[in-house]
């Protein structure tokens, strides 16, 4: 089965490069988060809200996988270093794209690296980047059935943000049905409902980020 061999080789190669990404982040004491979501769920909004809340206490940087710099421009307005990883239309980031982008940032001046993956609930789930945690961002606007239809993404999440909770009053969204779908795939998954727009629910997520950054710093100093 040559097709399967090729796929296995690609995934092995990706995992090996991801391990090198992780080494570089760990050596510099940088926490790396891989933000994944559907198009329009609010990756950039969550990222910029997180940056604006934390930029006075932590040293932040971002990488954005995209074909167009529209999100990079939004992130740049926060004042932190940000670079575009031009995906050329690919449906996901991979460790190779990330390792080539890392030298564009001075990691010695960074505590937290936020990587915005391509807007897609399928392909990014298959490619480890070498970052420390997979952050999946769902949104009220995309509907309560997404865990059932995109199981690999939810299974691979380390933390789940449910964005746009300010839209709950305008859209039908069965929170119990959504949470049940998540629980079956990923029992006990850390979960933060929030609104990047209004700031509701953001503090709990920010505390989670602060705690992970502190752990990473302690590990790199040990």
The torsion angles phi and psi of 145, rounded to 5 degrees, stand at -100, 5
Asked if residue 142 binds a copy of itself (CB under 8 A), the reply is yes
Residues 6+ apart with CB under 8 A from 8: none
Angle between helical axes of 202-221 and 43-54 (0-180°, round to 10) = 70
Sites for a copy of itself among residues 95-134 (CB under 8 A): 118-123
Please list, residue by residue across 140-151, b when 16 or more beta carbons sit within 10 angstroms of its beta carbon and e when fewer do.
Answer: bebbbebbeebb
Q: Which stretch binds a copy of itself (CB under 8 A): 50-58, 148-156, 182-190, 201-209?
A: 148-156
Number of C-alpha atoms within 13 angstroms, CB side, residue 144?
A: 13
User: Which residue, 25 or 161, has its beta carbon nearer to a copy of itself?
Assistant: 161
Closest approach of a copy of itself to the CB of residue 185, in Å? 11
Show the site string, 162-191: x = touches a copy of itself by CB under 8 A, - = not.
-----x--xx--------------------
Alpha carbon 39 to its chain centroid, in Å, reads: 13
By CB under 8 A, name the one of 24, 81, 86, 148 that touches a copy of itself: 148
By CB under 8 A, name the one of 14, 96, 131, 139 that touches a copy of itself: 139
C-alpha–C-alpha distance, residues 47 and 69, integer Å: 15
- How many chain residues are in contact with a copy of itself, going by CB under 8 A? 32
User: Which residue, 150 or 205, has its beta carbon nearer to a copy of itself?
Assistant: 150
Alpha carbon 143 to its chain centroid, in Å, reads: 20
User: Which residue, 58 or 85, has its beta carbon nearer to a copy of itself?
Assistant: 85
By CB under 8 A, name the one of 27, 67, 175, 211 that touches a copy of itself: 67
Asked if residue 211 binds a copy of itself (CB under 8 A), the reply is no
How would you class 78 by CB atoms within 10 Å of its CB: exposed for 0-12, middle for 13-18, buried for 19 or more?
A: middle
Asked if residue 65 binds a copy of itself (CB under 8 A), the reply is no
């Amino acid at each position: 089965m040559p097709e399967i061999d090729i796929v296995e080789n690609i995934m092995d190669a990706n995992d090996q490069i991801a391990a090198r990404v992780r080494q570089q982040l760990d050596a510099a004491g940088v926490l790396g988060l891989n933000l994944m979501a559907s198009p329009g769920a609010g990756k950039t909004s969550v990222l910029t809200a997180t940056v604006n809340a934390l930029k006075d206490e932590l040293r932040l940087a971002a990488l954005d996988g995209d074909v167009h710099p529209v999100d990079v421009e939004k992130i740049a307005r926060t004042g932190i270093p940000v670079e575009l990883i031009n995906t050329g239309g690919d449906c996901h980031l991979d460790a190779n794209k990330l390792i080539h982008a890392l030298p564009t940032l001075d990691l010695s001046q960074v505590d937290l690296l936020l990587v915005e993956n391509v807007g897609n609930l399928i392909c990014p789930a298959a490619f480890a980047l070498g970052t420390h945690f997979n952050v999946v961002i769902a949104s009220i606007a995309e509907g309560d059935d997404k865990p059932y239809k995109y199981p690999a993404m939810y299974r691979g999440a380390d933390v789940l943000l449910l964005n746009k909770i300010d839209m709950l009053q305008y859209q039908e969204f069965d929170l119990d049905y959504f949470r049940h779908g998540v629980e079956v795939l990923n029992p006990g998954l850390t979960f933060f409902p929030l609104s990047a727009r209004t700031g509701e629910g953001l503090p709990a997520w920010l505390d989670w980020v602060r705690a992970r950054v502190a752990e990473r710093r302690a590990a790199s100093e040990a």
